[in-house]
Structure 1
Amino acid sequence: MGGEDGFPSIDTPEDVWQHIVFGEVAVGRDGAAVFVSVESECSWEPEHGLQIVFRAGRAVTKVGPFDGQYINASADGRELEDVVYRRWSLEP
């Protein structure tokens, strides 16, 4: 069963895990900070998947489509340094 615009219908927050297949885990540094990046497949974004990044194993710093960056600021400028999730837009 699909939801709006072909997205899966997810009834509760707990159900989201049924739509994720965890994949590669990478550990890296940005300066002195250590990050753990988990790249996963997800049913709502088959092209880019899902990336969850942890800083020092204690705090989530980024959730969204996989782009290989550890924080949103790495890809989009320092004004997004404290943004954990930013919805991608296909429009310019």
Structure 2
Amino acid sequence: MRKIVSETVGILTQDNQFEDWWISDPISIPFLENKTMTITFADFNPDDDVNFITESDKAIKSFLNKKSEDRLELSELAYENCMKFLSVVPYDKADEPLWKIKTKADIWNFIYPTDIYISRRHRRDKDIYINIACECEWEQEHGLQFIFRRGEFLVRVSAQDGHLTEADAYDKDDSQDKLLIKSNNINEYSKAVEVSSRPIKNNNWWRRICIKILKNNN
């Protein structure tokens, strides 16, 4: 089993099931009140993407600078995701605690981070994104994800669907993705019209997450 080294999180061990997954030892995550979690470097072949580790280390450093106060600033978006979901599904008495939330920050009592993935977007900006995958009380089938571009800029709060951005999920131009625009550097690549016509690489990392979940449930 191969191992490589990240300057930020140390030794990465190749997953025994998926050869392009590399997993760190558990580390403390300040953003999640110092919860100890591994970070999975996903969809990564060291021979094909020689800059991935360097760029990922930079993104992880930015992410690890985030504190629990930064997480609480996302309460409104998480709460909106919850309310939007509940408004389109049949009433369930089990959801009463969610409907009775008094302050939006209380939404975090119903969110359970499970995994952290770091991967490269395979079109347009081809930037590095960190995905915090969570289980949540309202969307028990697809869960919840918080995605940060370069580990710094929040670009998506959504159910887990295998896409890093809203633009990718709905096949929109990046200029129509409000949170992605806020991540600052969209103008660097929005001039290149031809990029939007490139085929989207299969979300291999997402398929593998699903496979692991299915195997764990059997």
Question: TM-score scaled to structure 2, two decimals?
Answer: 0.35
* Structure 1 residue 55 corresponds to structure 2 residue 55: no
CA RMSD of aligned residues (A): 2.0
* Bigger Rg, structure 1 or 2: 2
More helix by share: 2
Q: Summarize deviations over 1:3-61 as a string: whole Å, max 9, x none.
A: 87233222211100000000111000114310000110000111110011000111111
Separation (CA, whole Å) in 1 of partners of 2:131 and 2:119: 8
Check conservation: 1:62, 1:83, Cα contact below 8 A.
no
1:89 aligned partner:
none
Higher relative contact order (CA 8 A, sep 6+): 1
Match of 1:82 in 2: 177
- Matches of 1:11 and 1:48, distance apart in 2: 25
- Consecutive unaligned residues in structure 1, runs of 5 or more: 85-92
Task: Give the count of matched residue pairs.
Answer: 82
Counterparts of 1:10-89 in structure 2, within 5 Å, are 10-31=101-122, 32-79=126-173, 81-84=176-179
Gaps of 5+ in 2: 1-85, 180-218
Which amino acid counterpart does residue 118 of structure 2 have in structure 1? V
The Cα shift of 1:83 comes to 3.9
Q: Answer with 23-32 or 36-45: which moved more.
A: 23-32
Structure with greater proportional strand content: 1
For residue 120 of structure 2, give the secondary structure of its aligned residue in structure 1: strand
TM superposition score normalised by structure 1: 0.77
C-alpha distance in structure 2 between counterparts of 1:50 and 1:40, whole Å: 5
